[in-house]
Structure 1
């Protein structure tokens, strides 16, 4: 989709707030009838701008009380070793997000686990077991100030 008009943006804003809404409810909220809303939504979905529909859980209530951000440096930067690391990150359930970054470190990981004992197990038995890990620096979240998944589209 090349460009989003204001109606498309309204649809996406509504969906980012509550993806469980049906087409009729979306249409009512944006002030459009059901059929054009449905057609626009299908066009938006087909364009790939919506990656998927998900349910967001409250981490603490789900037993995930420890959030850590890990800066990881690799020892060597050959393409096969980078690919091997990235593949391993994709398979680790504790790693919620993984970014290849520029700067002092090579990767930034968001790791979410039950508690410090679980984090220690993850660090020593999973992350450290990966070939080519040079350095890991962990920062632990004490209080979440802001967490959003919605993009501002205005």
Structure 2
């Protein structure tokens, strides 16, 4: 349905258990120094640094970020919005994707299967700010056939850990 937004690598990078240990440590705390990581994985700093640089270069490690508590920065409303498009072609999908990428309220966007085409995670200050986003931004995207909003009552698990 949607055009590829990133080039997919054809060959998988060979990773060993030390690489996975390094990734687990960085997921837990990306502020660890090379020396701290090296000590924990039982390597010297130079090969540890080389492994991290290789994983960054190959796109295994995409970026380092600070995870914020949305409630403590006055972003207490999370809404999952499911969207179906009127027309199912590359142009319509790309127009939708381009519009969504510009919205700071959208923290995640997935092209999905089933009754809807896309699923968005919207984080905002209040019901009023979500309503404003929905009416003034989301509804202005051409080609949307249907939306369904699901309001998150409580977050049970929120992690970006893959390992």
Band of TM-score, shorter chain: over 0.9
Does 2:115 align with 1:104? yes
Other-structure match for 1:142 = 153
Other-structure match for 2:73 = 62
Deviates more, 1:81-90 or 1:40-49: 40-49
Other-structure match for 2:52 = 41
Q: 1:133 aligns with which of 132, 140, 144?
A: 144
- Per the TM alignment, residue 28 of structure 1 is displaced from its structure 2 partner at its CA by 1.4
- Per the TM alignment, residue 102 of structure 1 is displaced from its structure 2 partner at its CA by 0.8
Structure 2: stretches of 5+ with no match in the other structure: 1-11
Supply the distance in 2 between the matched residues of 1:81 and 1:41 (Cα, whole angstroms): 39
- Per the TM alignment, residue 124 of structure 1 is displaced from its structure 2 partner at its CA by 0.6
Other-structure match for 1:92 = 103
TM-score (norm 2): 0.90
- Per the TM alignment, residue 92 of structure 1 is displaced from its structure 2 partner at its CA by 0.5
Supply the distance in 2 between the matched residues of 1:43 and 1:75 (Cα, whole angstroms): 43
Q: 1:30 aligns with which of 38, 41, 45?
A: 41
Helix, strand or coil at the partner of 2:48: helix
Helix, strand or coil at the partner of 1:131: coil
Other-structure match for 2:25 = 14
- Counting matched residue pairs gives 152
Other-structure match for 2:128 = 117
Structure 1: stretches of 5+ with no match in the other structure: none
- Per the TM alignment, residue 74 of structure 1 is displaced from its structure 2 partner at its CA by 0.9
Q: CA RMSD in A?
A: 1.0
Other-structure match for 1:77 = 88
Supply the distance in 2 between the matched residues of 1:2 and 1:81 (Cα, whole angstroms): 34
Other-structure match for 2:6 = none
Supply the distance in 2 between the matched residues of 1:44 and 1:71 (Cα, whole angstroms): 34
- Per the TM alignment, residue 21 of structure 1 is displaced from its structure 2 partner at its CA by 1.0
Helix, strand or coil at the partner of 1:149: coil
- Per the TM alignment, residue 101 of structure 1 is displaced from its structure 2 partner at its CA by 0.7
